[in-house]
Amino acid sequence: MNEVMKKNQRIYLDYNATTPCDPRIVETMLPYFTTMPGNAASRSHPFGWEAAEAVSNARNQIANLIGADEREIIFTSGATEGDNLALKGVFEMYRRKGNHIITVETEHKAVLDTCLYLEKQGGEITYLKVNKAGLINLEELRAAIKSTTILVAIMWANNETGVIQPMSEIGKICDEEGVLLFSDATQAVGKIPTFPKNIGIHLMAFTAHKMYGPKGVGALFVNRRRPRVKLTAQIDGGGHEEGMRSGTLNVPGIVGFGKAAAIAQAEMEAESIRLNLLRNKLETALSTEIEECSINGTTEHRLSQVSNLSFRHVDSEGLLMTFNQNIAVATGSACTSASLDPSHVLTAMDIPDDLAKSSIRFSLGRFTTEEEIDFTIEKVKAGTAQLRALSPVWEMFKEGLI
Ligand SMILES: *Cc1c(COP(=O)(O)O)cnc(C)c1O
């Protein structure tokens, strides 16, 4: 690798924060900004008809990816809105049945902050703990369900660690206990098979920009039969999307989302094998060649493209500085990285604050190459060595003083 490349290279390893748009997707979207500008709700002219047809086609592609009926796909502005709509919509609609919701400490802030809001509205929320591996305890879930429970909200795969919850078993428990199950599947859809109807998930949120589509468009799957799930709309006006989410549809975005779903469906298997090899190369090199490097989260039930690592006595922000902006990775959670608190996900997994603050999330994706991984390995090894050489704390640790 030559010096010029090293200086100017920008390696993107933050795919869990957002993915670049796949050029094939951009190309599919373009005409819907210009020559086909119709509103999908305009029924009186061909511009409207072709927009409606494009939306219908995309809805079909997305429904296919998750094994749902087209009418079960409610378009939103993204997963944050989907999480809000599922939680608030169920809470308001099923209020007479109960006010209790069960979720998990490691959920995304879009779920946790919505739960905080619902607590102020009279909701009772149970936050399940996770073990060191990042997994919930199924018996604790079952024991937490009571007569007032109206919803269980558990994410499919964690954005920070990639840890995958046992959704089939969770679905079985919710079915036996007769409660609705919602999953934030933002990190799972398009990466692993996600068929909510087969395993008893009644609501599922996901978003285009985590699967190579555009930002600002997502979907909420809402089960229509046995049971028919009803939601109180959170945005009124016009009655679009089965009355659950009004507003003019983002036609180009939805077209891109559909194309993203079709590509993911076709390429998921091969891509996850490729990424698994690259991720393992990175993780094995770092965890064996760097002292005191630990993997956060189970390696058994995990997405194939994420690695969350802690480098003991190395401040992750400091490590980032040694990359000279050549490598884009996340420390803590991207969504809350303005705060210096350790990640709530790692804290919930009982990882001590100092190790949480020395953690880095590497998330790989469709455009990651082996050269980029090789370069990253070298940079991280050099950076940790550099910081530790200057660190009195590391010296004390090595001398067995702490
Ligand atoms: C990115 C993400 C979200 C937020 O999605 P937006 O479409 O950006 O609102 C929600 N949940 C999880 C798990 C995520 O990774």
* 189 DSSP β-pair partners: 192
Locate the ligand 1 atom nearest the alpha carbon of residue 17 and give its number.
Answer: 1
Is-catalytic flag, 335?
Answer: yes
Ligand 1 centre from 35 Cα, in Å?
Answer: 31
In sign, the C-alpha dihedral spanning 351, 355, 357, 363 is negative
CA distances from 350 to 104, 141, 283, 364 (A): 14, 19, 21, 26
Locate the ligand 1 atom nearest the alpha carbon of residue 155 and give its number.
Answer: 13
Domains in the chain, CATH or no CATH each = 3-20+268-398 (3.90.1150.10), 23-263 (3.40.640.10)
Two tokens at 159? 């954005």
Residues 151, 227: contact at Cβ < 8 Å?
Answer: no
Distance CA 137, CA 44 (A): 55
Tell me whether residue 166 is exposed, middle or buried, using C-beta atoms within 10 angstroms of its C-beta: 0 to 12, 13 to 18, 19 or more. Answer: middle
- Return the residue whose CA atom lies nearest to atom 14 of ligand 1: 186
The per-residue pLDDT for 335 is 45
Q: Is the peptide bond before 227 cis (omega within 30 degrees of 0)?
A: yes
Two tokens at 250? 């983002």
Q: How many helices (H) and strands (E) does the chain have?
A: 13, 12
The per-residue pLDDT for 6 is 63
268 contacts: CB under 8 Å, gap ≥ 6? 190, 191, 192, 193
Q: Which of 15, 85, 207 gets mutated to test ligand 1 (max ligand atoms within 8 A of its CB)?
A: 207
Predicted TM-score of the model (pTM): 0.96
Going from the first residue of the chain to its last (402 residues), give the mean pLDDT of each consecutive group of 10, the final group possibly shorter. Answer: 64 98 98 98 97 98 98 98 98 98 98 98 98 98 98 98 98 98 98 98 98 98 97 95 96 98 98 98 98 98 98 96 95 59 96 96 98 97 97 95 90
Tell me whether residue 339 is exposed, middle or buried, using C-beta atoms within 10 angstroms of its C-beta: 0 to 12, 13 to 18, 19 or more. Answer: exposed
Q: What residues does ligand 1 touch, defined as CB less than 6 Å away? A: 78-80, 108, 110, 155, 159, 184, 186-187, 207, 209-210, 218
